[in-house]
Amino acid sequence: MDISFPDILTNVFDKHKKDYLTITQIKKSLPKGVEQILGLQVKKLNYKEFVDSIRPLLPDTCSIHKKGNRTYLVRAPVQNIILSYVGDKTPMTIRKLYSDLPFQREEIADALNMLVKSGHIHLQIITQTKDFGVQVLIQKKQNSSHEIKNAYDIIRKDKHYVKIYELRRYLKWPDERFDSCIQSLWDAGVIELQASDPQLLDLNQRKDSFMDKTRTLRILLIWRGE
Amino acid sequence: MEGRMKTPKEILQENNPFYSNTHPDIWIRQFPNIPSINGDVFSSIIRIIENKQKNPQEPVGILVNGEAGTGKTHMIARIREYCEETSFQIKFSAIRPVINYNTPIRHLFRGIISSMAHTVADSSGCTQFHGLLFSMITEYISNESENRDVLKKFEGNPGKFFRFFSKFKNERELLYNRVQTWMIKEIPDVYPLFIKLLFAYGNPKLQQIARSRLEGDIADPEDARLLNVPYIENQSDPAAEEEARNFLLSLGLLLSRYNQCLIICFDQLENLQTEELIKAFGLTNQTIFNECYSLLPLSFMRTLHWERFEEILDRSVIDKMGMSKLNLHGCSQSQVKEIIESRISAVFPDTWETLANWLIPLVQTTIHKNPTSREVISAANAIIMKTDGKDTPNKDIWPSPNEIIGSAYSNERDLILSDLDAWPADYEEITSAVSIFLKSRKLPFTTKKLSRKNILTITYREKRCCVIINTNRNHSAIGASFSTGTQFLHKNPGSICLYLTDPRCIITKPTWGPANQKKNDFLEAGGEILHPSEGEIARFYALYSLSCKITEGDIQIETMDGVRPITHDEFYDYVGSKELFESIFKATQDDTDIDEKKHEISVDAIHNAICEVLYHQPMHIMRADLLAQSLFKKGVSITHDELIMWCGEHAGLYKILQSQQGSMIIVTGKVAVC
C-alpha cells in the first residue's frame, strides 16, 4: 500500500499526541520506509539537509517555526494550535501561552488578535502580584438551536412535545432572542408550533407562550428536525 | 359588472369551498381525502386494527393526540371509510362524550347501537347489524351441506340476502329461529337476550322496538310479546349498566368468532370536564380492556387535555389506552396545495385549475410552516374574503361572533336534520340543550336527575316552571313523569309545567289506560306537552352539539387581529338574544297538511324538480331556502326542513354544503336520476 509523506507525518504527530515537534524529534521518529519516499538515507543527512529535503513534501497546513535554539515543525495554522492548546485549560495567561508554544511573540500576538476578532476567544485583564496580566478565554460558540434542543429533551421527558412557557422559563433567555430563535426554527421547518387550548393555562403561562404573526397563541412545541 | 368575466375571487366568493373548516359529519365524505396528511398515523391505526383482528383478547387501545384543526374528526371519518372498504368486516362506531357518569357503559353501548344501526352508504337500508346477522346466517347455512349452494346467489352481500328474504317472511322467521338457537348453543357465554334482539332487529317490523330494547327501553308488555322477550318494568341504573355490559361482552364474542373487530372512536373528549366524567370514561375503557373481546377503543384528544386524564385515571387504564400513542401533525407545502385543489375541484369540477392556480400562491405566502389543515382552509377563506385592491381585509367583511355562531348553528341544525338517525332520542342531550338555553337567557334553574329522566325547575320573578325531559319509552316511566308534573302543578298553583320529549318517542298508546289517565290529569292541571317536530328537535341537538364543538375550539372566528376560537360566553350571548335566537320552547306543530301534500308527490317527481332547478344553476348548487322556494313555484310544496331531510336520505345524489348563508344543496349523483 502506497503511503505519502504527509500521512507519515500525521502518524508521527498522532503518536506523540502533539501538534508540533522539534525537527530532531521528527527525524528520530520517522519510520524506515520513509527513505524510499525521500530517496535519501535520513540518518546520513545533517540537520539543514534534512529540513531542505522534507520542505517540498510538507502539506500546506504544516509550517516550520524557530524559537530560541530549536526549530519546530507545526502541523496546523498558528490560530488552530492556540485554540486547541488553550482548549480545556482555559483561562490561560498569554505569558504561559508564549512560554509553552513554539511561536514568536509576533506570531502569538497576530493569532490572538485574529481569534478575538473572529469571536473564538476573548481576553480578560487580571491583576498579578506586581502588575497586570491578560488571560485567554475560549468563547463557547452560541448555538441556539442546540441549546433549545437540549432544553427540549430535558423538559419533555417521555412526551413528544414541550410547553413553550416551560422552555422559555428553562432557558431564561431575553424574550427577543427566544422569540426570534423559535421563529427561525419554525420557518426552517425544524420545529412545529401548535396552538392547543389557552384556557388550560394561567395568565403568566400564556404570557410566556409564543404569539405568532397572525396573533395566534402557540402553546406547544414539537421537534420535527427537518 | 354585466358582460365582464368574473375574477377567480368573485367566483369563489359566490360558492366558497373554504367557508367551513370543520369536518361536518363522519358519515359523509364532503371533500376528498388527502391520504398523505397524517398518513403515518392512519397506517399505524390500520396495522393495530389488523393485529387486533388476529388477537381479539389483547387489551390494546390507541390514543390520537392532535390540536384543534389537525384533523381528529377527519381521521375518524377516514377510519369509517376504511371500515366501509372492508364491507364492514371491521365494524365502526363513534361515541359522543358521556353526560351521565352513573351510566357510562349504557352510554357506550347506545353509541355503538347508533353507529351499527346507521345505514351503510348505497345499501338500501342495510346496517352493520345486518352484516353481523349475515355472518351468523352464512356460517349456519354453510354447515348444512344440502343448503350450502343457496348462499351463492347472495355473493356475500348482506343487502341481497335481506332484500331477497323480505319477500319470504315466514321462511325468514324460520331461518332466524334456527340460527339463533344454534348460535346460543355454539357460544355458551353469549347473552341469549342479545342474540334474540339482534335477530328481531333483522325483521323490519320489529327493528325499532328491538333497537329500543337493546338500548334498555321497552314500551310495554305488548312490545315484549312481539319481541318474544321478558318484559321489564323500569330498570334501575345499576341493572341497566349490568345489562349493557352483558350486551357489550356478547357483541365482542360474536365479532371474535368471525375474526371481525369493532373500532370505538371516542371524540370530543375535552367535554369531559369533571373528575367524575373522566373516571366514568376510564371505567368504560377498563371494561373494554379487561372483559371484552374484539373491541378496539380509539381516543381522540387534544394534547394538554390528555395530561389531565393522566392525573385522574388509574395507571393501568392510562397505559392500555395510550399503548399506541399517535400524534397528528401539520401539513407540508405539497399537502397545502392538495387541500386547496381538492376543495375547489369538489365545487368547481370543470374550472378548478384556474381557480386553484390563483389561490395557492396567495395561501402559501400567508401561512407559516406546517400549518394545520384548518389553518390552510382559514387562510384560503380569508384571502377570498379580502376586498380587491386592498392589502388588508375589509373590516366590514369580517363576520361578527353572532354571525359566526348564527351560521354555525344553522348549519349544525341542518346537518343533524339531514341525518337524524345519528342523533337518537336522548334526554341527556336535550337536557344539556335546555340548560344552555336557560343559562343564556339568565333564567335561574335547578336540575334534578331521576332514573332516565331529568327535571329542570326554573324560578323567575316568583314564578316557577318545571320542565320534565323524558325519552324513556316505557309506559310506566311516561305515566310517572305525568304524575310528577301534576303533583308539581298542584303544589305550585299558577306555575307552568312542560313535558318535553323527542318526536321519535310516542307520548302514549291508546291501550295504556293508567298512563293515559295520568296524561289527562296532567293536562287538566294545566300541564303542557311539547312534542317537537323533527326540525324543532334538531334545534335542541344542534345547541348541544355546537356547545361541544366550542369546547373543542372547533368554531373559530377570523378577526382583524387574527384567528381565535369562539368562546362559550359569546355563544351564550347569541342564544340569549331574543332577536337572534328563537325560543326552543314551542307548542306542538300541526303538520298534517304538509304531510298530505308531500305524499301526493312521487319520489321521482321531487328528484326531477330538484334536478331541473339545480341544473339551471351555475355549478348545480343553490341555497336550500331558495331551492325550496323555486320548487314551490314548480308546484312541489316542500319546506326547507323537508328538503334537508330529503337530501340527507339521498346522500348519494345530493350533498349539503355548509356556507355562511346557510346550507347549500349541490347535485353530485348521476344525471340519470333526472
pLDDT band of B589, cuts 50, 70, 90: very low
* Binary contact (A197, B327; C-beta < 8 A): no
Residue of A155, A224, A216, A222 whose CA lies nearest to A188: A224
Which pLDDT belongs to residue B51?
93
Q: Are B469 and B500 within 8 A, CB to CB?
A: yes
Q: What Rg, from alpha-carbon coordinates, does chain A have?
A: 27
Region B197-214: what's the mean pLDDT? 95
Cβ-Cβ contacts under 8 Å for B439 (sequence gap 6 or more): B572
> Which pLDDT tens digit goes with each residue over A179-217?
989 999 998 889 999 988 888 899 999 999 999 888 888
Which pLDDT belongs to residue B396?
59
Rounded CA-CA distance B583/B114 in Å is 29
The CA–CA distances, whole Å, from B6 to B12, B13, B360, B516 equal: 10, 11, 18, 64
Rounded CA-CA distance A221/A190 in Å is 10
Residue of B75, B81, B44, B76 whose CA lies nearest to B60: B44
* Binary contact (B370, A192; C-beta < 8 A): yes
- φ, ψ of residue B384 to 5 degrees: the values are -65, -35
Q: How many whole angstroms from its chain centre is CA B259?
A: 27
Please name the member of A186, A195, A219 whose beta carbon is closest to the beta carbon of B369: A186
Which pLDDT belongs to residue B123?
62
Query: H/E element holding B306?
Result: helix B303-312
Q: Which residue has the higher pLDDT, A157 or B485?
A: B485
Which pLDDT belongs to residue B674?
52
Q: Over 90: is that where the pLDDT of B187 sits?
A: yes
Across the strands, what pairs with B457? B446, B466
* Binary contact (B67, A224; C-beta < 8 A): no
Residue of B414, B420, B545, B421 whose CA lies nearest to B118: B421
Chain A residue with the nearest C-alpha to that of B367: A214
Q: What Rg, from alpha-carbon coordinates, does chain B have?
A: 26
Q: Which three cell numbers stand for residue A158?
A: 417521555
* Binary contact (A200, B368; C-beta < 8 A): no
Rounded CA-CA distance A36/A57 in Å is 13
Across the strands, what pairs with B90? B261
* Binary contact (A192, B302; C-beta < 8 A): no
Q: Over 60: is that where the pLDDT of A74 sits?
A: yes
The CA–CA distances, whole Å, from B270 to A35, B13, B279, B322, B353 equal: 81, 34, 13, 16, 39
> Which of B63, B65, B67 to mutate against chain A (most A CBs within 10 Å)?
B67
Q: Looking at CA atoms only, how far is residue B303 from chain A in angstroms?
A: 7
Rounded CA-CA distance B234/B566 in Å is 41
Which pLDDT belongs to residue B99?
95
* Binary contact (A197, B564; C-beta < 8 A): no
Region B182-204: what's the mean pLDDT? 95
**DSSP codes, B449-476:** EETTEEEEEEEETTEEEEEEEE----HH
Rounded CA-CA distance B408/B660 in Å is 8
Which pLDDT belongs to residue B513?
94
Q: Over B352-414, what HEC string results?
A: HHHHHHHHHHHHHHHCCCCCCHHHHHHHHHHHHHCCCCCCCCCHHHCCCHHHHHHHHHHHHHH
Edge to edge, the sheet with strand B621-623 lists B621-623, B664-667, B654-657
Q: B38: alpha, beta or left, given left = phi > 0 and alpha = psi -120 to 50?
A: left
Please name the member of A163, A193, A197 whose beta carbon is closest to the beta carbon of B553: A197
The CA–CA distances, whole Å, from A57 to A7, A103, A137, B249 equal: 11, 22, 35, 85
* Binary contact (B329, A212; C-beta < 8 A): no
Contacts of residue A163 in chain B, CB cutoff 8 Å?
Answer: 304
Region B169-187: what's the mean pLDDT? 93
The CA–CA distances, whole Å, from B567 to B546, B552, B564, B666 equal: 11, 10, 9, 32
* Binary contact (A197, B561; C-beta < 8 A): no
The answer to whether the Cα torsion of A129, A132, A138, A142 is positive or negative is positive
The answer to whether the Cα torsion of A65, A67, A73, A78 is positive or negative is negative
Cβ-Cβ contacts under 8 Å for B521 (sequence gap 6 or more): B482, B483, B486
Cβ-Cβ contacts under 8 Å for B182 (sequence gap 6 or more): B140
- φ, ψ of residue B587 to 5 degrees: the values are -70, 160
Q: Which three cell numbers stand for residue B245?
A: 355490559
Rounded CA-CA distance B500/B105 in Å is 25
> Which of A165, A185, A194 to mutate against chain B (most B CBs within 10 Å)?
A194
Q: Looking at CA atoms only, how far is residue B563 from chain A in angstroms?
A: 6
Task: Tell me the angle at which helices B128-142 and B237-257 cross, rounded to the nearest 10 degrees.
Answer: 50
Q: Which residue has the higher pLDDT, B466 or A76?
A: B466
Q: Over 80: is that where the pLDDT of B209 sits?
A: yes
Query: H/E element holding B528?
Result: strand B528-530
Q: Over 50: is that where the pLDDT of A161 sits?
A: yes
Rounded CA-CA distance B498/B586 in Å is 11
Which pLDDT belongs to residue A142?
59
> Which pLDDT tens digit goes with each residue over A53-63?
888 888 888 88
Q: Are B409 and B546 within 8 A, CB to CB?
A: yes
The pLDDT > 90 percentage for chain B reads 63
Please name the member of A188, A196, A214 whose beta carbon is closest to the beta carbon of B67: A196
The mean pLDDT value of chain B amounts to: 89
Q: Which residue has the higher pLDDT, B398 or A168?
A: A168
Q: Locate all alpha helices (DSSP H) within B66-168, ordered by sequence.
A: 72-85, 104-116, 128-142, 158-165
Q: Are B381 and B13 within 8 A, CB to CB?
A: no
Q: Over 60: is that where the pLDDT of B493 sits?
A: yes
Chain B residue with the nearest C-alpha to that of A223: B329
> By three-state DSSP, how is residue A60 classified?
coil
Q: Locate all alpha helices (DSSP H) within chain A, ordered by sequence.
A: 5-16, 23-29, 34-38, 47-54, 78-86, 94-100, 105-117, 144-156, 164-171, 175-187, 203-207
Contacts of residue A196 in chain B, CB cutoff 8 Å?
Answer: 67, 302-304
Count of pairs with CB atoms under 8 A, one residue in A, one in B: 58
Region A150-175: what's the mean pLDDT? 92
Strands A92-93 and A132-138 turn out to be: antiparallel
**DSSP codes, B484-520:** HHHHHHHHSTT-EEEEE--TTS-S--TT-HHHHHHHH
Torsion of CA B477, B478, B479, B485, to 10 degrees: 110
Residue of B22, B304, B377 whose CA lies nearest to A195: B304
* Binary contact (B303, A161; C-beta < 8 A): yes
Q: B389: alpha, beta or left, given left = phi > 0 and alpha = psi -120 to 50?
A: left
Cβ-Cβ contacts under 8 Å for B106 (sequence gap 6 or more): B215, B216, B240, B241, B243, B244
Rounded CA-CA distance B443/B398 in Å is 32
Please name the member of A163, A197, A216 whose beta carbon is closest to the beta carbon of B562: A216
Which pLDDT belongs to residue A139?
66
Across A39-53, A70-84, B416-430, B528-542, least confident range: A39-53
Q: Which three cell numbers stand for residue A116?
A: 478575538
Q: Looking at CA atoms only, how far is residue A207 from chain B in angstroms?
A: 16
The answer to whether the Cα torsion of B636, B640, B642, B648 is positive or negative is positive
pLDDT band of B424, cuts 50, 70, 90: very high
Q: How many CB atoms lie within 10 A of CB A189?
A: 16
Contacts of residue A188 in chain B, CB cutoff 8 Å?
Answer: 369
Chain A residue with the nearest C-alpha to that of B370: A192
Q: Which residue has the higher pLDDT, B442 or B657?
A: B442
pLDDT band of B596, cuts 50, 70, 90: very low
Which pLDDT belongs to residue B546?
97
Rounded CA-CA distance B358/B348 in Å is 14
